[in-house]
């Protein structure tokens, strides 16, 4: 029997809005993947944009370790949120557990995502069409929101994407 009180609060519309804002306004995120050679977690910084349904999208090189990891194991986590002045742990942050889905370069989705990514990151025009680069949609499974001191929430995938 567990008599400890829960440290998470009931997810409400304010928490959903804060989580969506952290995710959709982010220009970059920390992406955690599972290294297929060692089985250890590995973290990289990636540029982020979002698809029309609110799903985060990354553009990655096939030469990168995190790309090879995602092609072997689609499980990943992304950390959104920027520490500001003062204590970095006092600022909101969102960890999203997701399944990475490679976008077929011949699909209509690819052209839509490419346009949205360029809108968000115009400098990526320099490399976006290199043959080794590809997009992944990071399909949210669930998330953990630390909305500031004493404000912790667990969110579902439905809480994060536009249905």
What digits encode the pLDDT tens for the residues 41-57?
999 999 999 999 999 99
Position 89 scores a pLDDT of: 63
Quickly count: other Cβ atoms within 10 Å of residue 78's Cβ. Answer: 25
60, two tokens: 């990655």
User: How does DSSP assign 65-111, residue by residue?
Assistant: HHHHHHHH--EEEEEE----SS-GGGS-EEEEEEEEEEPPTTSHHHH
C-alpha distances (whole Å) from 101 to each of 59, 134, 139 are: 12, 11, 7
Tell me if 66 sits within 8 A of 44, measured CB to CB: yes
Tell me if 110 sits within 8 A of 135, measured CB to CB: yes
Q: Give dist(CA 5, CA 75) in Å, integer.
A: 30
Position 15 scores a pLDDT of: 87
What pairing do the DSSP bridges indicate for beta strands 75-80 and 41-47?
unpaired
C-alpha distances (whole Å) from 78 to each of 6, 33, 81, 115 are: 24, 9, 10, 22
pLDDT digits 0-9 by tens, 58-96: 999 999 999 999 999 999 999 998 776 666 665 788 999
C-alpha distances (whole Å) from 65 to each of 24, 28, 134 are: 25, 17, 14
Position 82 scores a pLDDT of: 78
Question: What confidence category does residue 142 fall into, taking pLDDT thresholds of 50, 70 and 90?
Answer: very high
Query: 142 CB contacts (<8 Å, ≥6 apart)?
Result: 96, 97, 154, 155, 156, 157
Given a cut of 60, is residue 31 above it in pLDDT? Answer: yes
pTM of the model: 0.89
């Amino acid at each position: 029997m567990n008599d400890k009180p829960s440290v998470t609060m009931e997810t409400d519309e304010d928490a959903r809005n804060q989580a969506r804002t952290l995710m959709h306004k982010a220009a970059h995120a920390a992406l955690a993947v599972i290294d297929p050679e060692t089985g250890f977690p590995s973290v990289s910084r990636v540029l982020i944009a979002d698809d029309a349904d609110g799903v985060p999208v990354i553009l990655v090189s096939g030469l990168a370790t995190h790309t090879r990891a995602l092609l072997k194991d689609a499980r990943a986590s992304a950390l959104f949120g920027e520490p500001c002045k003062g204590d970095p742990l006092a600022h909101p942050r969102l960890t999203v557990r997701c399944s990475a889905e490679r976008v077929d370069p011949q699909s209509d989705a690819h052209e839509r995502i490419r346009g949205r990514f360029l809108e968000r990151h115009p400098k990526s025009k320099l490399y976006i069409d290199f043959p080794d680069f590809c997009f992944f949609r990071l399909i949210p499974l669930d998330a953990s929101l630390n909305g500031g001191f004493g404000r912790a929430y667990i969110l579902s995938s439905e809480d994060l994407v536009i249905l």
